[in-house]
Amino acid sequence: MSEWNKKQLKVVLLGNSGVGKSSFMNQFVNHRFTSMYRATIGADFSTKEITVDSTLVILQIWDTAGTERFQSLGNALYRGAHCCLLLFDVTSGASFSALSGWLQEFLLQADPPDPASFPFVVVGNKTDLENREVSCRQAIEWCQEVGAEYFDGSAKDDINVDKPFYAAAKAALQHYKKHT
């Protein structure tokens, strides 16, 4: 595989505290899930190699803390990101309502060259739970407004965990082909 077919992409995971960002990353990278909650302090990152459209992609995944008090770290964490995965918890309407704030904050801090077409992928996590507050339809409607792709998923049951990362990598490759 030539150097041209190899690309390192930075993906940032954002969303309210407790929506399952660390769990989602852990399921994707290590195929593990734990129901114990340990809040992320600042940020954590992992890498995973995947193949997208015959390109070897080294995904550098940044898992950020959803708590307000760590948001001042934003600029350093978001800068240079090639795509962003926005997560909410389908059993929490508040975490869904918070998405537009996360999206705006990301664009402000990351300051990408073409914000209007920046690749965002949205995940409604914890679909394994019964007390759902946000429907798939509601989520898709919001995503259409902001031009993001949507996936219903569960880090716990490993449902649609890989797909959002592949979709984000694919969208980022297309976006950067246009801008380089």
Q: How far is the CB of 64 from ligand GTP (least distance, A)?
A: 7
Q: Which is nearer to ligand GTP, 35 or 72 (CB)?
A: 35
Looking at the Cβ atoms of 21 and 82, the one nearer to ligand GTP is: 21
Rounded-to-integer distance, Cα 108 and Cα 26, Å: 28
Give the nearest distance from C-beta 121 to ligand GTP in angstroms: 16
Name the phi and psi angles at 7, rounded to 5: -145, 135
CB of 109 to ligand GTP, least distance (A): 17
Least gap, CB of 47 to ligand GTP (angstroms): 18
Neighbours of 49 (CB within 10 A): 10
Token duo for residue 38: 């340990």
Question: What is the DSSP code string of 6-73?
Answer: EEEEEEEEE-STTSSHHHHHHHHHH----S---PPPSEEEEEEEEEETTEEEEEEEEEEP-SGGGGGG
Q: With respect to ligand GTP, which residue has the nearer C-beta, 28 or 125?
A: 125
Residues that bind ligand GTP (CB under 6 A): 17-23, 34-35, 37, 39-40, 65-67, 125-126, 128-129, 154-156
- The three-state (H, E, C) secondary structure of 121-170, written as one string: EEEEECCCCCCCCCCHHHHHHHHHHHCCEEEECECCCCECCHHHHHHHHH
Smallest separation, CB 36 to ligand GTP (Å)? 6
Q: For ligand GTP, give the closer residue by CB, 114 or 157.
A: 157
